Amino acid sequence: MARVFSGIKPSGEVHVGNYLGAVRRWVAQQDDGECIYCVVDLHAMTVPHEPAALRAETRRLAALLLAAGIDPDRSILFVQSHVPVVTELTWVLNCVATVGELRRMTQFKEKGRGQASVSAGLFDYPVLMAADILAYDTDEVPVGEDQIQHVELTRDLALRFNRRFGDTLVVPRATVPPVAARVKDLQHPTRKMSKSEESPQGTVLVLDPPEVIRRKVRAAVTDSETEIRHDPEAKPGVSNLLELYTVATGATIAEATEAFAGRGYGALKAAVADALVDLLAPVQARYAALRDDPERLDDLLAHGAAKAEAIASATMQRVRDAVGLLPRR
Ligand code: ATP
Ligand code: LTN
């Protein structure tokens, strides 16, 4: 059985792009892999943050992942900073990575662009991510397209380490979702729905109440025609709505196009809104129950951290031996 590992940052609210593109896939993979999922709070600190907000977001995101269907009896769910041995592995990998290869990471270039000052942590972000992946002897890393470069770096570091110090680390590979993995902003349908772009009306949050979801979808930007057809180039808004409808309901694009033929954009929008409300309702209900029981949540996370720590500590012991650190008596 493949070992699966992935992480998500507790920064900003989870939207249907995160849910459909990442979280829902994580839930599905529990059926055919041994899964480890992590709320990466140490990564969220690489840009300026509020301490109280980080703590609250970390709990909230963990509750949301459980509500979405991550099953703590089958998978390991934990908070990154609860397993500090990963930061020790980061140090060792820092001595294997080069400044040149980290400088080439596009996420660093994009997030650093135009900033007066950038933390050393933002520069080192991919090495901490590599340590996450390698600490858990990971085979597969389900991520969005933006993270492929980081997983490639992780592979390079593992191969280099093994060449230099002997076979120690498992070499992972990225897995990316097949189709409709890039949900667009409802107000700006040529760009991806995102946590950090300022577009509250174009971003449907997983925890939005039904009336808010309906309002946002009703206000979605389309075009001045009336024909419902999937053509992302010429009709990005309508195509995004069709895609949302298909990923939310399981229908194909052809089935959806036929079902809405001649019925106008209003009917399509109403159907998309209904589909999203139905999709998210059970997640929202489970979330409310978990949020009202923080004790239980913290217990589940402590349990996850203990299981994760056992795996990461064993890896770190192999790494210490391999690089020649003197064992402590
Ligand atoms: P930001 O846009 O602020 O960089 P994000 O929304 O991408 O943040 P992350 O925590 O970095 O959030 O990513 C969590 C996961 O959600 C990643 O695997 C990413 O590929 C996926 N994801 C994010 N936005 C979308 C989207 N619009 N469509 C599909 N998947 C997405
Ligand atoms: N960098 C990722 C989050 C992340 C991650 C990981 C993903 C941190 N560690 C390990 C997969 C595996 C992001 O920005 N979405």
pLDDT digits (tens, 9 = 90+) for 215-273: 999 999 999 999 999 999 999 999 999 999 998 998 999 999 999 988 999 999 999 99
pLDDT(180) > 60: no
Residue type, 235: K
Confirm or reject: Cβ of 80 under 6 Å from ligand 2.
no
For the record, the structure tokens of 274 come out as 């209904």
What's residue 39's pLDDT?
A: 98
Is pTM beyond 0.75? Reply is yes
| Helix, strand, coil share of the chain (percent; to 5) | 60, 10, 35
Residue type, 168: T
What average pLDDT does range 133-159 have in this prediction?
Answer: 95
Q: Select from 129, 140, 192 the residue to mutate for testing ligand 2; criterion: most ligand atoms less than 8 Å from CB.
A: 129
Average confidence score pLDDT of the chain: 94
Ligand 1, atom 13, lies closest to the CA of: 8
Q: 58-61, long-range: CB within 8 Å, 24+ apart, which pairs?
A: 58/10, 59/294, 59/297, 59/298, 60/10, 60/291, 61/8, 61/10, 61/14
For the record, the structure tokens of 110 come out as 């994009």
What's residue 169's pLDDT?
A: 98
Do 169 and 320 form a contact (C-beta atoms < 8 A)? no
Other C-beta atoms within 10 Å of 215: how many?
Answer: 13
Catalytic residue among 9, 184, 192, 235: 192
* Residue 316 CB partners (closer than 8 Å, separation 6+): 85, 88, 89, 135
